[in-house]
Amino acid sequence: MKIKSKTSDILDNLMIGKGFRRKRDVAKYFGVTPQALSLWIAKDKIPPRHLLKISKETTMKTTSHISSTSSIKKTEEKTVIDYLMRENVVLKEKVKLLENQEQKNSSFIPEGDLFNKIMADSLLIAGRVSDGIITQVDGKWSEIMGYSSDQLTGLSYDREDLIHPDELKKVQKIQQTLKKSESISKSKYSTIQRWKHGKSNKYIMLSMVWEVDIPKDTAIILIKPIDLFMID
């Protein structure tokens, strides 16, 4: 007996929720070819940006539809959450590689080919815990987020004109807790934040892994853009 894939379940639920009768309707909904949709099913994997499309539309549904689509919504949201958790695991592994390459001097961001191999399209910020000031950045900030290195260096990484208001208070609370704590010397944690694009002013969802060293007053933030498809 053939076991039905998770991707097939999601697409079937989407067809029921949207009233689609054929798979080509689903392909049109995502803006892909029927062949691409068949490939998703064969690989049992839906690209992240299309998962986010489902999640965002589900979130915006009115309460009149909640009772009839609650099971679909739960399945879709769990799939997106699972993806974000996997992304954070990958980022934590990259942070571990960076730690192994850390030198004894103050230059703790690797340069050249090593950085390119580790980071790919990820972004990196180094800053101080005490005042949240960004001291160094690396990666394709201009290409991905619309900011040059000079624009970000010297700014605070918890600025209200950078971070979406819904995440700002949470970020500031974490920073205050770290600075006031007498028992925490080092901390590693992950967050999902929306930062404003420097040119389009649209908010881009970022998966972030923080490596904080209180005694050294340093914070290394490894960042992975999740929904680059939103950038025009």
**pTM across the whole model:** 0.50
Residue that terminates a domain, selected from 83, 112, 140: 83
Note whether residue 14 is domain-resident: yes
Same domain flag for 111 and 226: yes
Residue that terminates a domain, selected from 22, 50, 83: 83
Same domain flag for 133 and 189: yes
Provide the residue type at 217 as one letter.
D
Reference 210, options 183, 226, 186; nearest CA is: 186
**Half-sphere exposure for 93 (CA within 13 Å, toward CB):** 7
- Both structure tokens of 152: 């970000």
Note whether residue 90 is domain-resident: no
Note whether residue 91 is domain-resident: no
H or E stretch covering 221: strand 218-225
- Domains held by the chain: number: 2
Same domain flag for 62 and 123: no
- Both structure tokens of 164: 């979406």
134-149 tens-digit pLDDT: 999 988 888 889 999 8
Note whether residue 196 is domain-resident: yes
Same domain flag for 72 and 184: no
Same domain flag for 114 and 202: yes
Same domain flag for 74 and 114: no
- Over residues 192-199, mean pLDDT: 89
Same domain flag for 12 and 123: no
Same domain flag for 162 and 77: no
Note whether residue 18 is domain-resident: yes
Residue scoring higher pLDDT (132 or 49):
132
Same domain flag for 112 and 226: yes
Same domain flag for 109 and 79: no
Reference 119, options 230, 229, 220; nearest CA is: 220
Q: Which domain holds residue 49?
A: 6-83
Query: 9, 75 in Cβ contact below 8 A?
Result: yes
Note whether residue 97 is domain-resident: no
Note whether residue 98 is domain-resident: no
Contacts of 60 (CB under 8 A, 6+ apart): none
44-94 tens-digit pLDDT: 888 777 777 776 665 544 344 444 445 545 555 555 566 566 666 666 676
Contacts of 218 (CB under 8 A, 6+ apart): 108, 126, 127, 128, 129, 212
Query: 139, 148 in Cβ contact below 8 A?
Result: no
Q: How confident is the model at residue 4 (pLDDT cuts 50, 70, 90)?
A: low
Same domain flag for 61 and 134: no
Residue that terminates a domain, selected from 36, 54, 83: 83
Could you tell me what percent of the chain has a pLDDT over 70? 66
Note whether residue 89 is domain-resident: no
Looking up residue 199, the CATH number of its domain turns out to be 3.30.450.20
Same domain flag for 57 and 24: yes
Q: Does residue 111 have a pLDDT over 60?
A: no
